[in-house]
Amino acid sequence: MKKLVIATRRSRLALWQAEHVRERLATLHAGLAIELLPLTTRGDELIDRRLDAAGGKGLFVKELETAMAEGRADLAVHSIKDVPADLPPGFALAAITAREDPRDVFVSPKYPSIATLPRGATLGTSSLRRSAQILERHPHVEVRLLRGNVDTRLAKLDRGEYDAIVLAAAGLQRLGLEARITTRLEADEMLPAPGQGALGIECVARRAEVAALLAPLGDGPTTICVRAERAVSRALGGSCALPLAAYAEFRSNIVRLRALVASTDGKRVIRCEVEGDAADPQGLGERAAHDLRRQGAEEILGH
């Protein structure tokens, strides 16, 4: 191949991620021309509604997949937490990159932590996972919908529309906005989304020549952990309509996986922790999902 075209969303973070992958590919494959194809997705346009009410995570990837299917692009770069647990037929994740900080962060010009928010303080997030975990511990906080890209969310905070917001650490770090972080939320307080902090590189499954070029970008331990996390989501329905978190850690060929399912109001939260051999991340994720169901997740899933 002489040229690769990378499909990407138009947000500053998405363009940074695509350019990061472009630079790594250019280093690996001298002489290969690599271009970006910025696209606007339905998820970027619907900024006043929750994703779960508008059609789910696939709203961020459909246009990119269409470009690949039509031959206008060879690959797409995603924040893997935005990628549905099940890809459409004919597509594959060719590489999952080394994970950056997987944590969520609390950002506020007024308060040092979630615990210091007074009754009725407004906290912005678009994530049911985040809001459920916040409401579990801090039911006095008013959690309000906050959509848009990172810069848009920070601008709304700076205009005083919210007292605080919660974002992913990796996004702020990639954009050079680490100074905006007030407090990093450890996994015990805010369990991350499946895949948070890692990039997923997608291509058409039958294009082995593209997959071969992308394979060196993959990180082994991250891939194992993310596949375990995504297996939990897949086994429980794979939808962003469910407050679900999953986070795996790799140590000495053993994977520790923590997961939770919650009611949207945070009044019921079911947690589990499993460990297993790194050779079977899918099986480990399915074990975690089974444990959550055994504890009563079906009742939450049915609501």
Give the catalytic positions in this structure: 82
Q: Which two tokens stand for residue 283?
A: 């099986």
Residue 171: name the closest of 159, 187, 154, 158 by CA.
154
At 62, phi and psi to the nearest 5? Answer: -60, -50
Residue of 281, 84, 98, 127 whose CA lies nearest to 198: 98
Phi-psi region of 106 (alpha: psi -120 to 50; beta: other; left: phi over 0): beta
DSSP 229: H
Residue of 221, 270, 19 whose CA lies nearest to 102? 221
DSSP state of 58: G
Residue-level length of the chain: 303
CB 200 within 8 A of CB 60: no
Instruction: Look at residue 4 and give its three-state secondary structure.
Output: strand
**Can you tell me whether residue 34 is helix, strand or coil?**
strand
Which pair of structure tokens corresponds to residue 125?
A: 């997030």
Burial of 105 (0-12, 13-18, 19+ CB in 10 A): buried
